[in-house]
């Protein structure tokens, strides 16, 4: 019986994994240079963690199951709630602000399409404990810095949910959240129907005017001089000082219900309709999980979409060594020479009892940068001697093992 991988998941071959790790490491180094530290949370959590605030949609799309003890568990559909739970359990007394980042897989039962999978990876940060606009600006600037580091251009749009919530006035929180979800999905027909159902059709014109407004001054003419717009103006001015190109966009709504203030999204070219590669904003969740009311701001990159958007990239050549030996010297090469070189570089030895030509073919096949030859003439010269061949230039020379190691390092591959 032939068994295939589950729908909506991916297999990654060595070359693809090398590309993903290359991009991931650049992203890690960038956020670490801003003072963020890595954390990791369990792959599954209590279902209650996500039912408290994220809304019904994310639950409907999640993998939910009972464990053998009858507990309701969920494969994490995203990371903000787990990070907040971790904060409440273990980090509340730590100095603020906390700067945390993660790189983890998540799971959602959605219809697979380009850039959208049922198992996917998120790379994100959470800045916990500051409600200053400077903190929100830093999170946006960090997302922009990550894009610059990996060489990807993105269209940044920034909004503020406070303006939209002010406009909706006396609607309940549940109703406001429903309206925001319709806007997040760009489902304006559904929005009109919903407003009719809750007898709030008078709001539609102003809601559409706000989400179509082109700048903060135009928005003020619709909602008045509310604090949300003053905050957004401050954030926008600081982004200008950072030299970060952005657009004010009140249609950026973010469908997850925990967002309370500034929100932003970044879009990349070449991904069709699924072109959002990053989203984030400000939220307050800790008090729902038994902690103190704590302001937080974060973002998450859809890592799979980032990889797709980057397309084919030229990876730096990695130093890789192949040990080639005569049959008489095979044991010596495998047990004495290879371990010394392996301390410094990835090193492979022959496992198929090939002759010299077969081993050299293997060296080419694996993309070895250098071949270290151990034959009879090298052993006659002395136990320390090998012949080093640079596979890029074809040059070769008999050297001691230590000299060969130094030469490989000097080649700078």
Q: Find the helix packing angle between 188-197 and 173-184, rounded to 10°.
A: 160
**Tokens 């945390």 identify what position?**
100
CA 299, CA 280: separation in Å to the nearest integer? 4
Number of alpha carbons in the 13 Å side-chain half-sphere of residue 7: 5
193: tokens are: 């129907």
Torsion angle (degrees, nearest 10) of CA 393, 395, 396, 402? -60
**Contact indicator for 149, 237 with CB cutoff of 8 Å:** no
**What local confidence, expressed as pLDDT, does residue 173 receive?**
82
The answer on pLDDT for 57 being more than 90 is: no
The answer on pLDDT for 162 being more than 70 is: yes
- Beta carbons within 8 Å of 3's beta carbon, 6+ residues apart: none
User: Domains of the chain by range and CATH?
Assistant: 14-310 (3.30.930.10), 321-408 (3.40.50.800)
* Least confident residue range of 79-83, 168-172, 300-304, 312-316: 168-172
* Least confident residue range of 27-36, 37-46, 49-58, 115-124: 49-58
List residues bridging with 267 in a β-sheet.
155, 276
pLDDT band at residue 214, thresholds of 50, 70 and 90? confident
Q: Kindly report, residue by residue over 305-324, the tens digit of the pLDDT.
A: 999 999 999 898 899 999 99
pLDDT band at residue 110, thresholds of 50, 70 and 90? confident
Strands 276-284 and 295-302 turn out to be antiparallel
**Contact indicator for 266, 143 with CB cutoff of 8 Å:** yes
The answer on pLDDT for 413 being more than 90 is: no
**What local confidence, expressed as pLDDT, does residue 174 receive?**
84
10: tokens are: 């991916």
**Contact indicator for 99, 30 with CB cutoff of 8 Å:** no
């Amino acid at each position: 019986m032939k068994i295939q991988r589950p729908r909506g998941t991916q297999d990654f071959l060595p070359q693809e994994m090398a590309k993903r790790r290359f991009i991931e490491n650049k992203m890690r180094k960038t956020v670490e240079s801003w003072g963020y530290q890595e954390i990791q949370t369990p792959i599954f959590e209590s279902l209650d963690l996500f039912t408290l605030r994220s809304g019904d949609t994310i639950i409907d799309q999640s993998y939910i199951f009972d464990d053998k003890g009858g507990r309701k568990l969920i494969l994490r559909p995203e990371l903000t709630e787990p990070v907040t739970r971790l904060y409440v359990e273990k980090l509340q007394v730590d100095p603020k602000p906390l700067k945390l980042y993660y790189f983890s897989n998540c799971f959602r039962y959605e219809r697979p399409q380009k850039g959208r999978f049922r198992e996917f990876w998120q790379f994100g940060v959470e800045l916990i404990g500051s409600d200053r606009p400077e903190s929100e600006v830093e999170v946006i600037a960090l997302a922009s810095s990550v894009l610059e580091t990996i060489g990807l251009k993105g269209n940044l749009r920034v909004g503020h949910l406070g303006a939209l919530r002010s406009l909706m006035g006396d609607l309940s929180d549940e109703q406001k959240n429903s309206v925001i979800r319709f806007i997040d999905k760009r489902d304006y027909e559904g929005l009109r129907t919903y407003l009719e159902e809750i007898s709030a059709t008078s709001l539609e014109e102003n809601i559409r005017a706000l989400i179509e407004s082109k700048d903060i001054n135009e928005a003020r003419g619709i909602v008045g001089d509310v604090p949300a717009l003053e905050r957004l103006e401050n954030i926008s001015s600081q982004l200008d000082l950072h030299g970060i190109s952005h657009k004010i966009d009140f249609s950026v709504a973010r469908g997850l219900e925990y967002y309370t203030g500034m929100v932003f999204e970044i879009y990349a070219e070449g991904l069709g309709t699924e072109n959002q590669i990053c989203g984030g904003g400000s939220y307050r969740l800790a008090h729902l999980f038994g902690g103190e009311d704590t302001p937080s701001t974060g973002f998450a990159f859809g890592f799979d979409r980032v990889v797709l958007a980057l397309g084919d990239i030229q990876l730096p050549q990695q130093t890789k060594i192949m040990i080639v030996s005569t049959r008489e010297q095979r044991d010596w090469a495998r047990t004495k020479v290879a371990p010394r070189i392996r301390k410094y570089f990835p090193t492979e030895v022959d496992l198929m009892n090939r002759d010299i030509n077969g081993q050299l073919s293997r060296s080419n096949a694996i993309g070895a940068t250098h071949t270290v030859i151990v034959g009879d003439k090298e052993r006659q010269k002395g136990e320390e001697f090998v012949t080093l061949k640079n596979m890029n230039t074809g040059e070769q020379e008999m050297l001691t093992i230590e000299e060969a190691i130094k030469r490989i390092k000097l080649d700078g591959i």
